[in-house]
Amino acid sequence: MTRRLVLGYVGVVIVVLLALALPLGFQHQQSEHHDLTAKVQRDANVLARYAEDAVQNRQPAQLADVARSARAYADDADARVSIVDKTGRLITDTGVQEESDRHALTVAAPIGSGGRVYGTVRIAYPTDSVDAHVRNYWFLLAAICAAVLVASAVLGFRLARFVARPLLGLERAAEAVGEGKLDTRASETDGPPEVRSLARALNETVAKLEQIVRSQEEFIADASHELRTPLTALRLRLENGDVEGALNEAERLTDLVSELLALARADATPAEIVDASAVARERVEHWRAFAAEQDVTLEVEADRATLARVAPARLAQVLDNLLANALDVAPAQSTVTVAAAAHNGHVEVCVTDEVPGMTAEERARAFDRFWGKGSGLGLAIVRKLLATDEGEVELGDAPGGGLEAIVRLRSA
């Protein structure tokens, strides 16, 4: 991965360098040759004006003077200067070797005035110095590009390591999770923000997966632990012909399976904004007839809307468990009260009965699995259901005597 990232990064840099350096080099080359052509053309025009009278009058002294000037220019510039009259007859030629002419810039200027031409000045100017300067410029550009390319490769390698190392860590973490090592976590501090965000998402997913697997393992352990006794009792009662006892054991077994399934499915529904007061009133109405059979009065104090962030089904199941526990122990002609209100940034739903309260030790153990009457799962289910929605529950002494179960939910 690191090599591919570096090659890709260096490839982009090469394209950018070529897109910048090639036009710059060709522009400089054209500019140098253009400047040289303009210079030599000016020199040819000057020699042509200087030689105009001599060529026109054909005076030997003047022609000799023009030849000396041409020779001086040719020696100074290492160029070849040829002057001919209008008939093509050679007046002077500095005689530079033909080999050099093949590497020279040749320009011509007419000798004449008033629309009449008396001859031509031809200059073959060597381009060696300009070509050398252009080559040096190309070498300089190449050196700069090479330096930038090396620096880019080093930077690209470090950047690739910066990105690839945490990605490799994520890959190893994912492989470990795939092998069943659910305690594996990827580093959330290495790499760019996008990789750190991906690592957090992976860790959150693995944590949820670990929680689900742990819940399933607990469910299997709970089921194997708790179902053994009623199944054995049911078999013995059937063998002894105790039909009524067998039916009671079957009913107990049904309740136990329902509670175990509630534990296993506690986190299956997403939370939403719910009016906890409305849910409390609904559950009280649901249990009112059963409470009347027990000669227990059910009251609800939840007139105002109290919005909480919780799954409606989970809150309803929590209240059902708490009401079932309260009605199971409430004496005849007593009252069980359900109240919902906003309190200290939370929504509190309280279920209060008039049964003498528990000791501090009993309240501490009340939420343990298989503790207390019945299956011992009722309050354990309540705590797990609320934990799914980041809520909590505690038991305390009611102000007027009795036991109070206080459910705290996140306020919407």
We report the CATH number of the domain holding residue 192 as 1.10.287
Question: What pLDDT sits at residue 230?
Answer: 66
Q: Looking at residue 381, which CATH number applies to its domain?
A: 3.30.565.10
Percent of the chain beyond pLDDT 70? Answer: 86
Q: Is pLDDT of 400 > 60?
A: yes
Mean pLDDT of 45-65: 87
Question: What pLDDT sits at residue 300?
Answer: 94
Residues 121 and 191 both lie in one domain: no
Q: Is pLDDT of 309 > 60?
A: yes
Collapsing DSSP states into helix, strand and coil, what is residue 179? coil
Question: What pLDDT sits at residue 376?
Answer: 40
Higher pLDDT, 231 or 106: 106
Structure confidence at residue 192 as a pLDDT band (50, 70, 90):
confident
Residues 14 and 100 both lie in one domain: yes
Question: What pLDDT sits at residue 99?
Answer: 46
pLDDT, tens only, 316-349: 888 988 998 888 888 999 999 999 999 888 999 9
Residues 17 and 53 both lie in one domain: yes
Last residue of a domain, one of 84, 106, 130: 130
Mean pLDDT of 223-237: 67
Return d(Cα 105, Cα 98) in angstroms, integer. 13
Buried b (16+ CB within 10 A) or exposed e, 85-113: beeeeebbbbebeeeeeeebbebebbbbe
pLDDT, tens only, 242-269: 777 777 777 767 766 766 666 566 555 6
Range with the lowest mean pLDDT among 287-301, 316-330, 350-364, 368-382?
368-382
Q: Looking at the 3D structure of the chain, how many domains does it have? A: 3
Instruction: Judge whether 212 lies within some domain.
Output: yes
Return d(Cα 68, Cα 131) in angstroms, integer. 29
Residue reference for tokens 């810039």: 105
Q: Is pLDDT of 234 > 80?
A: no
Residues 226 and 260 both lie in one domain: yes
Classify residue 214 by burial, with Cβ atoms within 10 Å: 0-12, 13-18, 19+.
Answer: exposed
Residues 189 and 322 both lie in one domain: no
Residue reference for tokens 């739903």: 349
Local structure of residue 182 (DSSP, 8 states): T
Sequence length of the chain is 412
Question: What pLDDT sits at residue 262?
Answer: 60
Separation in Å, CA 241 to CA 51, 90, 246, 254: 145, 145, 8, 20
Residues 406 and 396 sit within 8 Å (Cβ to Cβ): yes
Instruction: Judge whether 354 lies within some domain.
Output: yes
Question: What pLDDT sits at residue 349?
Answer: 95
Instruction: Judge whether 152 lies within some domain.
Output: no
Residues 245 and 313 both lie in one domain: no
Q: Looking at residue 34, which CATH number applies to its domain?
A: 3.30.450.20
Rounded to 5°, the CA angle 377-382-384 comes to 90
pTM summary value: 0.46
Q: Is pLDDT of 198 > 90?
A: no
Instruction: Judge whether 142 lies within some domain.
Output: no
Residues 242 and 200 both lie in one domain: yes
Mean pLDDT of 37-66: 88
Residues 280 and 253 both lie in one domain: no
Rounded to 5°, the CA angle 298-301-305 comes to 135
Return d(Cα 267, Cα 369) in angstroms, integer. 18
pLDDT, tens only, 22-41: 888 899 899 999 999 999 99
In which domain, by residue range, is 207 found? 185-265
Question: What pLDDT sits at residue 381?
Answer: 76
Q: Is pLDDT of 240 > 50?
A: yes
Question: What pLDDT sits at residue 35?
Answer: 92
CA quadruple 95, 101, 105, 110: dihedral sign? positive
Rounded to 5°, the CA angle 400-404-405 comes to 165
pLDDT, tens only, 66-95: 889 989 988 888 889 999 988 888 888 887
Q: Which helix (H) or strand (E) holds 407?
A: strand 403-410
Looking at mean pLDDT, say which of 109-118, 182-191, 275-284, 369-378 comes out highest.
275-284
Return d(Cα 194, Cα 204) in angstroms, integer. 15
Q: Is pLDDT of 375 > 50?
A: no
Task: Round the average pLDDT of the chain to a whole number and report it.
Answer: 82
Residues 273 and 379 both lie in one domain: yes
